[in-house]
Amino acid sequence: MAGALGRTVLHRERYARIWGLGDRKSPSSITPALMLMEEDPALEVAHAPFSFSTTASLPSTLSVASRGCFVPPSFETVGPEYEVNLGHVLPPSLEDANAGEVQGTSPLLPVSWQRMNHDDGLTDPSLLPEIVVITDALQLASQPGKLPKAVLTLKHRFPGALLWAPGLSGPDNVAVLASMGIDLFDLTRCREAAANDVLLTAWGPRLAHPHEDTTLASQVRHMIQSIEEVRAAIQSGQLRTLATRQSQSSPRLVEHLRRHHELMHQHDGNLASHRPASTEFPCYAPQALTDPLVVDWESFMVERYETPSPVREVMVLLPCSARKPYRLSKSHTQFLRAMASTGCHEVMMTSPLGLVPRDLEDVWPAANYDVPVTGDWSEDELARVRRMLHALVQRTGYRRIINHTELNLDFLETDVVNTRQGDGATSHEALNRLSQAVKEAKAVFSLRNQKNNLRLKEHFKSIARKTTLTDAWCEDLVVRGKLPRWRLELNGVQIAVWSIDRNGFSFSKSAIDHLHQHAALRAVHLKDDAAWKGDVFASLVKVADAGIRTGDDLRVLQNGECIGLARAVASGWEWKGTPGTLAKSHQRKKKS
């Protein structure tokens, strides 16, 4: 090997990443990208940054060569190059047997299912490969659950490495494979398709029409187009939608994606806590019900959500709206006018999230999801709503629910007043019944309207419980200002501003000690002798909370002292060795 591989993450979407190869200021290639064999077409480095070859003699050797100048610091010579012994291992079905020829260890790291189960050397923290090769990926893909497990395990173990699954990729699966975390692909299946006079497209193999070309050059054009679509989807944050659509071309791809999502549920620190207000979370297909972000929302609502204390007597269950946040929609304007009270807890029934409280309608993903509004509900959607309602009612202890939806709430052991009675939600009759039900509840339970600044404070406390681990730091704050720039102040000093651009808090320098005092935000501990001058990089970090999510505000600690705040751009699983920026410096104390 000559030199190291210069690489940095340019864009992230869950486990998918766009790596910049070479000079991070002007990378000469990016991933997802191709590995070329000698007989493959000579593609541009921008699409194919590496070539590879294997020896026919045993023990077999894998060689990988860079086709661009990726060696820091000058990036003037072509490289690096790698070579490693592939060994000979038993198939994944014989995982309990520890036999075969040992695979080599180098910056180009071959890993098989058998090696993952038997080689303790893979746990050596000093092992920091640059490219990891799943040598039996094709076999793993044919056995339920093994490929997703292998990929996620290797991503967590070697977050700074590029991942390659030889022989597996084609234009019909690169979106699914990239969403799982695979960075490098090859043209093996494209060559097979050309040999069999079949056209391999983004939506699966098919027989060619008389005017269509099935040569390798034609197959490669489809492959490059699919890779470009994946790159664009990662950059725009829409890879999930593309992968879901593409998975429908094969039952095996559906299985891979489902298994991957199930594994995501078992790990923290692989989702986002904040996304820009302009980011959409499309929920157009039934698969959205099992998306990790949706399941995570349900888990939070069922296990950790707390109803604001001033509105724990009466819940008003309302239908959602196409416009987000709901309060800006025409229908909710009518609901709010009819209720004419801030003494009830307003909760929206929606799919796929199930329930969204009014106090959380501004946060990700409640403020960003987009779903077709048809009025038709599947049994799976209704089951989620019932689960969440049952948990929320049981934990909060509402004394009455005013139901302005068409959902039957007989399963709840709580007084229920139905205000729809078969009428449309915004019909004159239904709105009158809603108004009367709220007036009666106010009289029976002595409900009081909340002053606007106190109501906002309760909403911010609710958001704080979800996004900053605790609302203790909010207790002594007052809310000042006006829409859209609400300020949270302590003794006249600004601690935070509510940012409508990121749907989250923007903390001031004065917040550093206050947040630390209340153990708000996840923590990152820098090495004792590290000089923190800019952003947070892996080389500075001694230990980081594994549950960090992209978008999280973080406390930065050193030698037991909180010295500043940063905002995570990388999830917790990446913090053990990913090159490049892990968190952006946000606020820093002046050195004494």
CA distance 174 to 73: 32
For 96, 195, 515, the CA distances from 150, given in Å and listed in that order, are 16, 30, 39
Looking at the fold, whether 216 and 256 belong to one and the same domain comes out as yes
Six-digit token string for 372: 């077709």
Rounded mean pLDDT of 18-27? Answer: 93
Does 261 lie in the same domain as 296? no
The answer as to whether 210 is a domain residue is: yes
Question: How many domains, the chain?
Answer: 3
Residues paired with residue 36 on neighbouring β-strands, in sequence order: 51
Shared domain check, 247 and 290:
no
Q: Are residues 121 and 255 in the same domain?
A: yes
CATH of the domain at 508: 3.10.400.20
The answer to whether residues 86 and 109 touch, using CB atoms and an 8 Å cutoff, is: no
Residue 270 lies in a domain: no
Q: Are residues 441 and 518 in the same domain?
A: no
Domain that holds residue 568: 452-588
Give the pLDDT confidence score for residue 592 in this predicted structure.
57
* Residue 297 maps to a domain: yes
140 domain residue, yes or no: yes
Examine the domain organization and report whether 552 and 410 are in the same domain: no
DSSP letters along 151-193, please?
A: HHHHHHH-TTSEEE-TT---TTTHHHHHHHT--EE-SHHHHHH
- Separation CA 32–CA 234 (nearest Å): 10
In this model, does residue 27 exceed pLDDT 90? yes
Bond from prior residue into 59 cis (ω within 30 degrees of 0): yes
Q: Is the pLDDT of residue 2 over 60?
A: no
Q: Where are the extended beta strands (E) located within 464-509?
A: 478-482, 485-490, 493-499, 504-507
Among 445, 474, 507, the domain boundary falls at: 445
Same domain assignment for residues 179 and 49: yes
Mean pLDDT for the chain overall: 92
Query: How many CA atoms lie less than 13 Å away from 104 in the CB half-sphere?
Result: 14
The reply to whether 292 and 244 lie within a common domain is no
Q: For residue 337, give Cα distances in angstroms to 75, 401, 420.
A: 64, 19, 16
Closest by CA position to 386, among listed 298, 306, 505, 494: 298
Domain end marker among 235, 265, 295 = 265
Question: For the segment 60-70, what is each residue's pLDDT rounded down to a tens digit?
Answer: 899 999 999 99
From 218, 238, 265, the end of a domain falls on 265
pLDDT band, very low/low/confident/very high, at 1 (cuts 50, 70, 90): very low
Residue 207 sits in the same domain as residue 254: yes
Q: How are beta strands 184-185 and 33-36 bridged, if at all?
A: parallel
Mean pLDDT of 460-482: 95
Classify residue 356: in a domain, yes or no: yes
In this structure, are 257 and 286 located in the same domain?
A: no
- For the residues 216-231, what does the mean pLDDT come to? 95
**Domain assignment present for 276:** no
> Do 93 and 215 fall into the same domain?
yes
Looking at the fold, whether 70 and 206 belong to one and the same domain comes out as yes
Question: What integer pLDDT is reported at residue 32 of this predicted model?
Answer: 97
Residue 229 or 214, more confident: 229
Q: For 536-571, write each residue's pLDDT tens digit.
A: 999 999 999 999 999 999 999 999 999 999 999 999
pLDDT of residue 10: 94
The answer to the question of residue 275 being in a domain is: no
CATH code where residue 325 lies = 3.40.50.10630
> Which tokens in the block code for residue 134?
């799943």
Q: Which two tokens stand for residue 93?
A: 């079905």
Band (pLDDT 50/70/90 cuts) for residue 152 is: very high
pLDDT, greater one: 208 or 519: 519
Residue 274 covered by a domain: no
What is the spatial distance between Cα 24 and Cα 181, in angstroms, rounded to a whole number?
Answer: 21
Q: How many CB atoms lie within 10 A of CB 556?
A: 27
